[in-house]
């Protein structure tokens, strides 16, 4: 096989049925193609890899994969891919997801056909998608207290006390509205089928260059979701925060105080996700969201 990729990283999702067998099959296949394999150190620490597979791999951290690899394979669900994507974003390393989770909007290679699909994908038989990310800076008293990336969404939400929060929203410096609600979801097209969809937001086609702003249980029923260009810079001033928080892909967060400012914009790099050649975006939506099948 004449592979386009010669240094491939492998990340696994812990506590997943049959993950050891899946990892063993993948490593054996890649090793037979004379590919340098870089295994996530967490998989070794969690005893997910047998001694035979371990001898065929270099063991490195997720943080090092962006510098060492020209492709990263994620064995897991969308949550695992999200966490790895944020680490790889600065390096523009493409990713392939092997579905081991629940929904699988991003992890499109079925576990059952993994080796057959990879045999074609490594030689260029794949469909690439460029996914935009969000970059967020949280400021307090004019100083930066948090900087984070998100592939799905940035969520400003109320905390454990359950009190509504109040905030002002600006887009490209222009005042948009004041809102009193449980929070606000700023979503990429990738995240539009996640929390934003559950909160009543629109589904944005995956390669659309746009964000959606989706209120969470607003006090005023006239506060509706809006979509804006991905060139927009979104500025949120929290005027009454209580114990509010800002969440990034639901996997990290920072506590928000009154008068904190949350600045959100498109990250400079996109994430390149590779799909099998039979991938169909709307077929995925039908299957995952249980839409009706074609009648004729």
**What is the rounded distance in angstroms from the CA atom of residue 10 to the CA atom of residue 41?**
10
**What is the rounded distance in angstroms from the CA atom of residue 142 to the CA atom of residue 296?**
60
DSSP code per residue over 81-149: HHHHHHHHGGGT--EEEEE-SSS-SS--EEGGGHHHHHHHHTTT-SEEEEE--EEEEEEETTEEEEEEE
Residues 6+ apart with CB under 8 A from 55: none
| β 252-255/245-248 pair status | antiparallel
| Nearest C-alpha neighbor of 137 from the set 257, 284, 254 | 254
182 is in an annotated binding site: yes
117 is in an annotated binding site: no
From residue 241, how far is each of 13, 77, 156, 163 by CA, in Å? Answer: 35, 33, 10, 9
The one catalytic residue among 42, 50, 78, 230: 78
50 is catalytic: no
Q: At what angle do helices 114-121 and 19-32 cross, to 10 degrees?
A: 30
Dihedrals φ, ψ of 127, to 5°? -110, 115
278 is in an annotated binding site: no
180 is in an annotated binding site: yes
251 is in an annotated binding site: yes
| Nearest C-alpha neighbor of 212 from the set 200, 222, 227, 198 | 227
Binding residues: 78-79, 152-153, 180, 182, 251
Provide the annotated binding site for NAD(+). 78-79, 152-153, 180, 182, 251
Residues with a known catalytic role = 78
């Amino acid at each position: 096989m004449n592979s386009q990729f010669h240094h491939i990283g492998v990340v696994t999702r812990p506590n997943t049925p049959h993950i050891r067998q899946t990892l063993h099959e993948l490593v054996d296949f890649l090793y037979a193609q004379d590919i340098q394999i870089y295994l996530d150190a967490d998989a070794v620490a969690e005893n997910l890899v047998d001694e035979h597979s371990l001898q065929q791999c270099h063991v490195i951290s997720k943080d090092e994969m962006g510098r060492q690899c020209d492709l990263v394979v994620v064995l897991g669900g969308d949550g695992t891919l999200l966490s790895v994507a944020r680490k790889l974003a600065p390096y523009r390393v493409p990713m392939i997801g092997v579905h081991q989770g629940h929904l699988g909007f991003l992890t499109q290679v079925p576990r059952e056909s993994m080796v057959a699909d990879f045999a074609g994908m490594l030689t260029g038989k794949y469909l690439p998608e460029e996914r935009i990310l969000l970059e967020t800076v949280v400021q307090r008293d004019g100083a930066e207290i948090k900087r984070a990336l998100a592939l799905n969404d940035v969520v400003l939400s109320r905390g454990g006390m359950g009190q509504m929060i109040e905030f002002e929203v600006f887009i490209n410096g222009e005042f948009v509205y004041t809102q009193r609600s449980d929070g606000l979801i700023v979503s990429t097209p990738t995240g539009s089928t996640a929390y934003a969809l559950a909160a009543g937001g629109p589904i944005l086609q995956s390669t659309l260059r746009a964000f959606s702003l989706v209120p969470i249980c607003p006090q005023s029923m006239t506060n509706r979701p809006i979509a804006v260009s991905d060139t927009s810079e979104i500025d949120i001033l929290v005027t009454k925060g209580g114990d509010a928080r800002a969440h990034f892909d639901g996997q990290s967060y920072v506590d928000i105080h009154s008068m904190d400012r949350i600045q959100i914009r498109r990250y400079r790099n996109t994430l390149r996700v590779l799909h099998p050649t039979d991938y169909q975006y709307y077929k995925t939506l039908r299957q995952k969201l249980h839409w009706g099948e074609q009648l004729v």
